[in-house]
Amino acid sequence: MKEQNYLMVDLGLPSGIKWADRNIGAETPQDYGLYFDWGNVDGHAIDENGNVTDGYSFDRDTYATTSGGQYTRSILDAKHDAATVNMGEEWCMPTSAEIRELIQETDHYYIGEDSSIVSGPFNYENKIPKKEGYQKLHSICFVKRGEEFNYNDRSNFIEFPFAGICRSSLLDVNYLYGYVWSNSVLDSATEYARNLILISDGRLYGDNCFRFLGHSVRGVTFKQ
């Protein structure tokens, strides 16, 4: 994988944690980056037609043969954490609590394909009006609470593209959804891991998904 220059962004979160400015494998914050099944540290790229370029299949049977598929602990150790392995020891994948904090403690702006602000700001407490159908949005930005949003000044926000999800060897629902892994499984079912789900109709929340499906990964750090 090409070495990336990941920047940490201080969003003024109560925990003091900082989020990376882009997904693992993304050359810019707007790019999708690589896709990972939970607990595996090898990311997989997608071509312009939405095909996994190395032929890897995000399916239950393939996953069962991998290190991540055989991992039985509820929280990832450093060896199985895609952020730690690909970004450096100061980075790790977020906890489900850190995902909740990101949603609840920031303002949210939606970005169209032309890099224009579609609507906002919104925050977790505001009711986001449901749009008529799905718009073809590109991303959502999480902005430091109460601060001015300038899309050309990335000092106080991070951007998540609606990068979709990989099923088998194909990318699905990009422009409509984004999926980002946490570092932990669902309490009651280890077949599922917790994640962040972004939806282009204005919903965003922490949820869970089958571990074998391909998600984006974004690192966090407490480094000063």
CA atoms within 13 A on the CB side of 8: 18
- Nearest residue to 167 via CA among 88, 72, 52, 64: 52
Residue 6 to residue 83: CA distance in whole angstroms: 11
SS3 content of the chain, % helix, strand, coil (to 5): 10, 35, 55
pLDDT in tens, 87-133: 999 999 999 999 999 999 999 999 988 888 887 676 656 545 455 55
Residue 18 to residue 54: CA distance in whole angstroms: 32
171 Rama sector, left if φ>0, alpha if ψ -120 to 50, beta otherwise? beta
**pTM score, whole prediction:** 0.93
pLDDT in tens, 175-185: 889 999 999 99
Does 193 score more than 60 pLDDT? yes
Neighbours of 224 (CB within 10 A): 7
Q: Are strands 157-161 and 137-144 parallel, antiparallel or unpaired?
A: antiparallel
